Amino acid sequence: MDGDQLTDAFVELADTMVAEFDVIDFLHLLTRRSVQLLDASAAGVLLADPRGELRLVAASTEAVRVLELFQLQNDQGPCLDCFRTGQPVAAPDLIAAGQIWPQFAAAARQAGFAAVQALPMRLRDQVIGALNLFQATAGGLGPEDVRVGQALADVATIGLLQQRGTRRSETLNEQLQGALNSRVAIEQAKGKLAERAGLDMDQAFTTLRAYARDRNLRLSELAQAFIDGSPADFPGLTIPATPRPD
Amino acid sequence: MRTQRGGRHSQQQRQVRWPFSHPAEAAHGPAGARPEWWPAPIRPAWPMTAARAALLWGLVAEEAARRGGQVAAADVCAAVVAALPVSGAWVMAQGTAGAGHLMCVTDEVGEQLAELQMTLGEGPCLDVLTSGAPVLVSDLDEYAARRWPGFTPQAGQAGAAAIFAFPLRIGAIRAGSLGLYRDKPGPLTGLQFGDVLILADAAVVVLLESQHPDGTSPAPGVGPGGQPPDLARHRAEIDQATGMVSEQLDVAIGEAFVRLRAYAYAQDRRLSEVARDIVARRLRLNPDPDPPRISER
């Protein structure tokens, strides 16, 4: 990571926050920047729901094997430990980490990863979720990268507060629920499009996202409109999009 | 449809009725206010456990048993008022174009507040229908008056000092809204907020089942995954499968969810497992006019 990359990323995130803002799109951008800046293979933002369950709201990839790794960590893994303690949790070597999290470490290694890092999303005395990073080579993040990673996790938290509101803690609760609900709508839209167009879930997500970006729509709004509407309302949506660089 | 009156209304604050309580609440009462010396630990935002969710769902079932009927929206409202320091609650079902009709309400003030919003076309309960996020107004102050200039003064006159509105949604599935009011200002604590969200989950399922009646559907008292609440976990596959079923059966997303649940219940399988099979294309729900039959491939 060089200084220019870092500067560009933060300027871009700041720009997104002051412009027409959608929290899901913002968090998605943040995960993709995290992957670039921290030399990770995959990143995900997880938020806690009312049952204390960690739920994915945005990830740098929608590959099923990776999404499963996020879901798995409700039983064991660095994200769960990070969430409970409010501290960063690192596993620079997933082979050794098999002693602490046997099922999770095995699944992560099978998915092709060798190291994992979880950084807490904290607001005052609350832990609301975690930024989860996976790497293909062992070794883990250096201290400078951990600082940048924690800053990105903090930016994600601030992003959640972006919508106007007077009472901070109430706004956070409101926004968390909104973000969790938006993600569910996106998953439903993935399913509907996958079925209609014969795509897999990863392709369906890419297609929805590309369609939204091309028409300057919020992904969560597109998801709702697509589910409510009829096929004629979305010409061209069934044409699969290929992943494009951001 | 006649509005159901459910639950009790009382002038004073309600005690939480079961033994489980957060340490802060046990020490300082249901308002949960912490003194300055209480250390602020790093804890999850909502120290919810699956056991607490089970307790809350049980409270809803208890209300239904007390009433002598199947679980309905009125029982969720009654459970809300029993479990939380609020003065009243109501559920509005979403119509095809905006706010629909009042399904149940616990008291007269609540009824006024719900009807005011429907008449004026403004208010926290209407905002949540479009935003998909809760709207918490712990004090009907000048900020609220700017946001809802017609509703706020009349709500105050009716006797409300705080209003909390929750969308009843599962992603793109919009069932309606849950409204709570308090005759004194003050916010919900994190714990109370979490409690309402759990009860709102129950309300969504109740509303959906009432909108798409299916004799084989499991009781709303079971968890959102279709299994006992302490096992119910949110799974992305369930959401994806809901979308797929909506397309497969050519039905609206809410009905797709009800049919998916009904299928899992009829097959005595976990909803998450059925969903996984559908997403992996091992299973497909086919439309069948009369009566509905499911074919497996």
| Inter-chain residue contact B243 with A167, CB threshold 8 Å | no
Q: Mean pLDDT, to the nearest integer, of B2-20?
A: 39
Q: Is 0.95 exceeded by the ipTM?
A: no
Record: contact B253-A187, CB cut-off 8 A = no
Q: What is the fold of B44-211?
A: Beta-Lactamase (3.30.450)
Q: Which residue has the higher pLDDT, B266 or B282?
A: B282
Q: Can you tell me which residue has the tokens 């046990």?
A: B26
Answer yes or no: is pLDDT of B28 > 50.
Answer: no
pTM of the model: 0.84
How much is the pLDDT for B218? 59
Residue-level pLDDT at B34: 38
CB contact under 8 A, B45 and A176: yes
Q: Predicted confidence band at B7 (pLDDT cuts at 50, 70, 90)?
A: very low
* Band of residue B39 on the pLDDT scale cut at 50, 70, 90: very low
Smallest CA–CA separation between B281 and chain A, in Å?
Answer: 10
Whether B42 has a pLDDT exceeding 60, the answer reads no
Of A60-74, B224-238, B270-284, the poorest mean pLDDT is in: B224-238
Average pLDDT over residues B206-231: 62
| Cβ-nearest to A189 among B134, B167, B243 | B243
Per-residue model confidence as pLDDT tens digits over B74-100? 999 999 999 999 999 999 998 765 558
The proportion of chain B whose per-residue pLDDT surpasses 70, expressed as a percent, equals 72
User: What does the alpha-carbon distance between residue A122 and residue A89 come to, in Å, rounded to a whole number?
Assistant: 14
Q: With an 8 Å Cβ cutoff, are A71 and B235 in contact?
A: yes
Domains of chain A with CATH codes: 3-164 (3.30.450.40), 180-229 (1.10.10.10)
Domain ranges for chain B, please list them.
44-211, 232-297
* Pairwise CA distance, residues B44 & A200, whole Å: 34
Contact at CB, A188 and B173, closer than 8 angstroms: yes
CATH number of B232-297: 1.10.10
Taking the CA of residue A60 and the nearest CA in chain B, the distance in Å comes to 16
Residues of A with Cβ-Cβ distance to B194 under 8 angstroms: 50
Separation CA B140–CA A59 (nearest Å): 38
> Nearest-CA distance from A186 to chain B in Å?
8
pLDDT, tens digit, 9 for 90 and up, residues A141-181: 999 999 999 999 999 988 887 654 434 456 777 888 889 99
What is the mean pLDDT of the segment spanning B45-71?
78
Question: Given pLDDT bands bounded at 50, 70 and 90, which one contains residue B114?
Answer: very high
Residues of chain B neighbouring A125 (CB-CB closer than 8 A): 40-43
CB contact under 8 A, B44 and A48: yes
Mean pLDDT of B161-187: 95
3-state secondary structure chain B: CCCEECCCCCCCCCCCCCCCCCHHHHHHCCCCCCCCCCCCCCEECCCCCHHHHHHHHHHHHHHHHHHCCCCCHHHHHHHHHHHCCCCEEEEEEECCCCEEEEEEECCHHHHHHHHHHHHHCCCHHHHHHHHCCCEEECCCCHHHHHHCCCHHHHHHHHCCCEEEEEEEEECCEEEEEEEEEECCCCCCCHHHHHHHHHHHHHHHHHHHHHHCCCCCCCCCCCCCCCCCCCCCCCCHHHHHHHHHHHHHHCCCHHHHHHHHHHHHHHCCCCHHHHHHHHHCCCCCCCCCCCCCCCCCC
Q: Which residues of chain A have pLDDT under 70?
A: 19-20, 162-170, 243-246
pLDDT (0 to 100) of residue B112: 97
The per-residue pLDDT of chain B, averaged, comes to: 79
Split at pLDDT 50, 70, 90, the class of B38 is: very low
- Name the minimum distance, in Å, from the CA of B255 to any CA of chain A: 12
A124/B197 CB distance under 8 A: no
Kindly report the number of other CB atoms within 10 A of residue B291's CB atom: 6
The answer to whether residue B135 scores a pLDDT higher than 60 is yes
Res A47: pLDDT: 93
